């Protein structure tokens, strides 16, 4: 089978230390139109459902989704474009990227739309990591990057979060002088903790030569913190990932973006660029045009989160300070036992993160859902 990868890309792939066998395996999968077998949030969520299908009346606070779905304006736009869904409508995607670029203060060619943010994360591993260039991240964090690195034969170097739950950027900078990609999720998944902007700037200036910093801003809008896209505008060696799966409530619709210098985006898109669902694009455009959406949802989710955290802390359960739509609570016992016990009460929380074995990750749901969580949690912890 002839590879769909360009000869230039093949040469780069082999020059970076990949074996011909590994190269052939990836090229064959891509030629067949197969998604590379990396974990993404949906696949990882399925791992937490090994007890069987989730009952329809269960509380689903396990996947950092939004129970509110798209805003009404986005839902209307999605509905109205369905009849035109027989065409690719690339002009809609162009409108989306131009609008997002304008709001972020970067040229339109610095933005690439994707069906979610998992694809550009996986392809960034292909573009910047190799058997000679490692993947550096903190632990715990979102695991998909590490799984992608394992698949392509790149070494993963994980460093613990700091005691204040922020990324230890100094440890990341010196973790491996031959690092290819440094991954920083901010706010972090699963902890919901925030790393200061000054630390990110320090890491960008002090990272190993030849490496790229990838900042995953999937949960940024929930924090109220400033974005790092101005660093992209300054042509720094940084890639920003965005998704509409969280605050915007479009997890099932699949819309995301990578924001970076064109030469860095090319390193990612060389390994595949696919059409984005027109329904998702229409919803994304409508969401971006609504200036009240982000602050309103951030306030609502923050109030529900704070109410639940105060409930737990009053009962002497410590919670990692969160700036996101999820939080980690210390159960003071093996977390997997609590996860399974909650499932018996039809309350589904997030998967276990081995670096925090007594903690469980809880997504912020509606007030009714969180009330059911409180009742179930007290029952299983009694």
Which pLDDT score is estimated for 1?
Answer: 33
Residue position matching structure tokens 């009694």:
382
> Under CATH, which architecture does the 72-288 domain have?
3-Layer(aba) Sandwich (3.40)
Report the chain's mean pLDDT, rounded to a whole number: 91
CATH top-level class of 41-69+293-381: alpha beta
Hey, where are the domains in the chain? 7-36, 41-69+293-381, 72-288
Whether 41-69+293-381 shares its CATH topology with 72-288 is answered no
Tens of pLDDT, residues 256-274: 999 999 999 999 988 776 7
Which pLDDT score is estimated for 34?
Answer: 45
The 8-class DSSP code of residue 175 comes to S
In whole angstroms, what is the distance from residue 228 CA to residue 224 CA? 13
The CA-atom distances, in angstroms, between 367 and each of 53, 61, 206 are 24, 12, 44
Tens of pLDDT, residues 15-66: 666 666 665 656 555 554 445 555 565 555 555 455 578 999 999 999 999 9
**For range 275-303, the mean pLDDT:** 97
CA geometry: angle 88, 288, 105, nearest 5 deg: 100
Tens of pLDDT, residues 314-373: 999 999 999 999 999 999 999 999 999 999 999 999 999 999 999 999 999 999 999 999
Which pLDDT score is estimated for 33?
Answer: 46
**Strands across the sheet with 156-160, in order?**
111-114, 256-259, 238-243, 212-216, 179-185, 134-139, 156-160
């Amino acid at each position: 089978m002839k590879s769909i990868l360009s000869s230039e890309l093949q040469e780069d792939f082999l020059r970076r230390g990949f074996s011909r066998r590994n190269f052939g395996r990836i090229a064959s999968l891509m030629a067949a139109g197969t998604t590379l077998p990396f974990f993404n949030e949906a696949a990882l969520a399925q791992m937490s459902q090994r007890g069987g299908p989730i009952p329809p009346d269960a509380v689903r606070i396990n996947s950092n989704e939004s129970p509110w779905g798209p805003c009404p304006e986005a839902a209307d736009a999605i509905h109205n474009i369905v009849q035109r869904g027989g065409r690719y409508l690339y002009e809609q995607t162009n409108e989306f990227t131009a609008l997002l670029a304008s709001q972020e203060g970067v040229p339109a060619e610095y933005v690439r739309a994707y069906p979610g943010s998992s694809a550009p994360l996986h392809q960034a591993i292909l573009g910047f990591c190799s058997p000679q260039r490692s993947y550096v991240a903190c632990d715990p964090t979102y695991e998909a990057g590490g799984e992608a690195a394992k698949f392509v034969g790149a070494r993963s170097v994980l460093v613990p979060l700091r005691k204040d739950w922020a990324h230890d950027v100094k440890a990341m900078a010196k973790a491996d002088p031959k690092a290819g990609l440094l991954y920083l999720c901010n706010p972090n998944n699963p902890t919901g903790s925030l790393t200061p902007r000054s630390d990110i700037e320090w890491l960008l200036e002090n990272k190993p030569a030849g490496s790229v910093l990838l900042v995953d801003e999937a949960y940024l809008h929930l924090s109220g913190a400033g974005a790092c896209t101005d660093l992209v505008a300054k042509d720094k060696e940084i890639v920003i990932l965005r998704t509409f799966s969280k605050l915007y409530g479009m997890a099932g619709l699949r819309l995301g973006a990578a924001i970076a210098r064109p030469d860095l985006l090319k390193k990612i898109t060389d390994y595949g660029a696919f059409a984005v669902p027109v329904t998702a694009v229409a919803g994304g455009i409508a969401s971006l045009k609504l200036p009240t959406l982000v602050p309103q949802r951030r306030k609502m989710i923050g109030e529900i989160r704070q109410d639940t955290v105060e409930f737990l802390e009053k009962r002497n359960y410590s919670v990692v300070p969160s700036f996101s739509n999820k939080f980690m609570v210390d159960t003071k016992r093996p977390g997997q036992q609590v996860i399974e016990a909650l499932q018996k009460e039809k309350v589904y929380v997030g998967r276990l993160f081995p670096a925090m074995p007594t903690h469980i990750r809880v997504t912020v749901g509606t007030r009714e859902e969180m009330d059911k969580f409180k009742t179930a949690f007290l029952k299983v912890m009694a």
